[in-house]
Structure 1
Amino acid sequence: MWDASNTSERLVEAGAFVSRDLDLAGFTTLRVGGPAPVVAECSTTESLVEVVRLLDAESVPTLLIAGGSNLVIGDDGWDGVVVRIANSGVRLDADVIAAEAGAVWDDVVAGTVEAGLGGLECLSGIPGSAGATPVQNVGAYGVEVGTVLHRVRLLDRVTGEVRWVGPDELGLGYRTSVLKHSDAALVLEVELQVSPDGASAPIRYRELTATLGVSEGVRVPAAQAREAVLALRRGKGMVLDSTDHDTWSAGSFFTNPVVPAARAEEVLAAIRSRLGDVAVPTYPADGGVKLSAGWLIERAGFTKGFPGADAPARLSTKHTLALTNRGAASAKDLTELARTVRDGVEDAFGVRLSPEPVTVGCEI
């Protein structure tokens, strides 16, 4: 059994700023989560490595948190040490930028645009840290981090080794990687490829091409694309705003489901049996067909703001794919709402939605 006082002293010696008995709700964008006895904030990569090595060597339960935008922490909190990843250095070169894991992701994107570099602008407005982007293979408006990732600096938590790895070693997929749901490695820094001509990545997402008034595949000034993306995200409550409870969320709570090719016709028939001869939005995917989670949620009968004005946890009033804390929700409230939505979609269409956020001390 680890001792909080002795561990705290050693964490300070390793370079961390240590706090005791903090509530974790303030560390996540959902603003739920119980207490932790020790929180160690690491503002440099060196201290982060030393702190995690120390805790792993002594088998102390460790929870790593950076931006907290893709995380649901249970109401009982975490009975161990929470390590706050707060290293935030950013270096800009002609065609590659490097961002330490704790750097605020949208600040990184904004910095590239201001420096006349293109390629990341479609990922504007996404909350969280730079280090989380390859873990989740973050994507939006037709661009995924995996398409611009140069390499990632990792701490191997088994051997204690620090090394750079290329994207081919990360098993990147739709909102996933080998790093997700695994404690084997910790991202310390990411390098991303950018375009020195200041033009955006080719615009391919239909909603964005319509907003910009361009054809698919056209490149526009990165600043123009960024502003369009931010406007679209704000309209859906997907840009953080402390005064807007629609943004007290983990972003899109469910991933778009991929239906295996062998079941695709069966599922589409079930949808049309319930809804009539409707146009079902489908997208090509490896091994099957990708459906829109938001579309399925709405067609299963869940409306914006469900289940109603008095509920502490509700679907966003702007975007049914986001589960939101209206100011006093608990993790229990949010997970119960998630189960209701998931089960309702499965009952209606035979498609089971998978949650996008990582859960700690709670289940969906």
Structure 2
Amino acid sequence: MTKLPEPTGLTESTEATEPTVPSATLDLLYSETEEELRSAVRSLLVDRCDPAGILARAETGRPHDPALWGTLAAGIGTAGLLVPEKLGGQGASHREAAVVLEELGRAVAPVPYLTSAVLATEILLGCDPGTDEVGALLRELAAGRQICVPAVPLTLAPGAPLPAAVRDSGGGVLTGAVTSVADAVAADVLLVLADTGLYAVPAASAAVAALVPLDLTRPLATVTLDAAAGTRLADPATARAAIAGALLCGAGLLASEQLGLAEWCLTETVGHVRGRHQFNRPVGSFQAVKHRLAQLWLDVASARAAARAAADALATGAADAPLTVAVAQAYCSGVAVRAAEECVQLHGGIGMTWEHPAHLYLKRAKADSLALGTAGHHRALVADFAELPTP
């Protein structure tokens, strides 16, 4: 695999007697295995996840397609990418999961991959996978037989205080409410953080009230527990550490979803302005349009570098992973929104209609810009990591 050249640590003005500082090499390129995975996921989504079908399901308030999720999670095996092989998973890394999220972003696919296969899986791996309860749940998730969703607000960001909305009245009997929980309407199991630790609660034991989300493809709900029985998975300290790690991982991989979304918007917009004519000329031949799309191409190229760097840092357990993730989210969030806005505007009148999928991408981009921390939150993290003083 071709990799970026490793810095030598020397410049023309540096004396040869000075020691060379070793530097880890980021691998931003896609491996053959990752490209094969991309091809399989893209082929599935092209066949089974067309915009008309997404809109039809979104109008019902339950956008998830169980058949599509079954094929994606179990047929291709993407649900278990982050799960070790000994627990029935694929034993892959965050790089492969990032490729899946890129393709899901390109299709604005209404599947609970980010919440179940990434966030919930990372939380469980942060507990003790050797225990019967955690190990069994990971096997179910890896096989695609169950959907597990963390009962935390989608807007909860890495580094932010964790909520303490659920209380244990004794023996794992939980009471409390959490709002803005993504994909709760499709969950079989909820991971609930209570004052006494982390609990697995059957979704049927909770009251799940669907909200009206901006992003119709990723539904939100308020989860209310009224003396619901849960199975304890971890003590409070372990649970909070596991959730903090999962939020970091989720934010880093969300950048890949935003990258895929931006790439689709750019590709579709370029195709449209090439074919659309005004004054007997393609719209794309006008200089103002050229400049806007050229700038967007540069933004997307930079977003790809940032997202790939975050995925590679998470996969290798790099010490600077929190900084790399914060940089990726601070940048990719804005690029996805700009790409979707340009897509709507440069499509003209058709871009404003319900029938055209551009609005799905704009809504997903805007919702993603709030998910797992705003760009402003991540910029503040970058400043903290770099020890930059506030104004």
Q: TM-score range by the shorter chain?
A: under 0.3
Higher helix share: 2
TM-score (normalizing by structure 1): 0.24
Larger Rg, first or second structure (1 or 2) = 2
